[in-house]
């Protein structure tokens, strides 16, 4: 059985004060967290404050939205895996579609970051997904396969098992138009099938695959009840503590 994983990708939002207030309200609302992994992914500037506000809620982990693959050096403006570890970060999002489309990240760059993250014992959440044009042309599987092979190249089975994959169809991100549970399940099953080909069936069965793209309290339960959907990567709805808590509760099947 795969444990569900629900993550809040705050993107470029939340001051330190807003982040601390979010955590206080979220902790009050959510109560005990069992049977689901919860990750809060603030902008770099609010990471330390979120960790502080979480206090002894050690079962909620903190993530980062990006990193560079070198460990240190003359890379002005970049953040490395060891610097994230220094902030008690456990997860890092790599290859988000906004990074790919707005900042020119390629699968090869994502792959270098993947290796650097694993080396530092950070767990990557690697994002893949097709555009509307690619879907309309019937190229979903081709795109997903290319992104998986490119970004996961050279990973050992154990590293793959510690990688989270987020299927985020680009047309569903921030649009209010989520993939239907059936569309998402079809893509997730294909991802798992591809992982089995790339590694082996046991490895593929252990990898958690999140769905992302307009996940809201009212669609989260049905999406996460699909057999190959192991959680959610939530953007807009994760900025409100109550709606993010509802999505976590949906993953707990409450």
Q: Shortest Cβ distance from residue 156 to ligand 13P (Å)?
A: 26
Active-site annotation holds for 149: no
Q: What contacts 201, CB < 8 A, 6 or more positions away?
A: none
- The catalytic position among 70, 168, 197, 222 is 168
**Residue placing its CB nearer to ligand 13P in the complex, 191 or 199:** 191
Q: Shortest Cβ distance from residue 216 to ligand 13P (Å)?
A: 8
What is the number of other CB atoms lying within 10 angstroms of the CB of residue 207?
Answer: 21
Contact residues for ligand 13P (CB under 6 A)? Answer: 9, 96, 168, 173-174, 212-215, 233-237
- The catalytic position among 78, 96, 162, 222 is 96
Active-site annotation holds for 108: no
Q: 232: closest CA among 90, 127, 85? A: 127
Q: Shortest Cβ distance from residue 1 to ligand 13P (Å)?
A: 25
The closest residue (CB) to ligand 13P is 235
Q: What's CA 198's distance to the chain center, in Å?
A: 21
Q: Shortest Cβ distance from residue 118 to ligand 13P (Å)?
A: 21
**Residue placing its CB nearer to ligand 13P in the complex, 199 or 241:** 241
**Residue placing its CB nearer to ligand 13P in the complex, 199 or 247:** 247
* ∠ Cα 44 215 21 (to 5°): 45
**Residue placing its CB nearer to ligand 13P in the complex, 179 or 199:** 179
Looking at the annotation, which residues are catalytic?
A: 96, 168
């Amino acid at each position: 059985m795969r444990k569900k994983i629900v993550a809040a990708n705050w993107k470029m939002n939340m001051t330190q004060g807003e982040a601390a207030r979010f955590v206080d309200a979220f902790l009050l609302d959510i109560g005990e967290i069992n049977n689901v992994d919860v990750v809060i992914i603030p902008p770099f500037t609010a990471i330390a404050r979120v960790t502080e506000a979480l206090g002894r809620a050690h079962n909620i982990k903190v993530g980062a939205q990006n990193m560079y693959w070198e460990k240190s050096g003359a890379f002005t403006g970049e953040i490395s895996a060891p610097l994230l570890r220094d902030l008690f970060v456990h997860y890092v999002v790599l290859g988000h579609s906004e990074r790919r489309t707005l900042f020119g990240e390629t699968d090869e760059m994502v792959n270098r970051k993947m290796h650097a993250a694993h080396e530092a014992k950070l767990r990557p959440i690697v994002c893949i997904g097709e555009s509307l044009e690619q879907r309309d042309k019937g190229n979903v599987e081709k795109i997903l396969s290319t992104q998986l092979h490119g970004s996961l190249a050279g990973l050992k089975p154990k590293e793959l098992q510690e990688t989270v994959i987020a299927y985020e169809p680009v047309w569903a991100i921030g649009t209010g138009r989520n993939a239907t549970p059936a569309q998402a399940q079809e893509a997730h099953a294909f991802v798992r099938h591809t992982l089995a080909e790339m590694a082996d069936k046991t490895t593929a069965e252990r990898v958690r695959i999140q769905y992302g793209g307009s996940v809201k309290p009212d669609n989260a339960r049905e999406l996460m009840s699909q057999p190959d959907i192991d959680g959610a990567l939530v953007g807009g709805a994760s900025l409100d503590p109550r709606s993010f808590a509802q999505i976590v509760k949906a993953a707990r099947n409450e």
